[in-house]
Chain A
């Protein structure tokens, strides 16, 4: 069975400091991995997906199949980055269901 683990429920950093949100997964096949974000009073939205190898709002995430990790990183955190972040895995079955981690609440302090 697939599983996504986000070990930190809460993470606080100061503005301008680097930030890394950890995500580990277990899945027997080839996973598709995503980071979703939920800003205060907004709906859940896609931040980035590994297949696109993109940088969104300064965030990047690299899939490490050896360590089964997909950590989210940003070199210089901004106050507007404060939000709940969810790592998610999509399986290769027909439903392409998303399996989410329990989320990390990031707070960027001024």
Chain B
């Protein structure tokens, strides 16, 4: 059983550019959630995908978008990057939508916007 993987590990972009982050779910999981973790803060929910459909969204603007593929891997896209988008981006996979099911986190992608 493989765990959650994310790519790339680190990324540097300039303001106004676009970025795509990738996440591979743990085997057997069909739900992926994305979080943004600013320095010194806890993770903040961006959105969740369940069976290829967006299933909930946090307080993030539309320039944050995502996809989930038939194999349940996922992408997070951010357009028109701003300096405040600099953060660690975490994805977490789980099975189904039961609230007490454990979410398994990936190691994160560190995004720096200059």
Contact = CB atoms under 8 A, between A and B. Distances in A.
Nearest to B3: A43
Nearest to B108: A43
* Chain A: interface size category: 20 to 34
Contacts of B43: 44, 86, 98, 100
A93 interface: yes
Most chain A CB within 10 A, of B40, B44, B45, is at B45
B103 A98 contact: yes
A95 B100 contact: no
A98 B33 contact: yes
A93 B42 contact: no
Most chain B CB within 10 A, of A49, A86, A100, A102, is at A100
Given A51-B100, A100-B43, A102-B40, A45 B33 contact: no
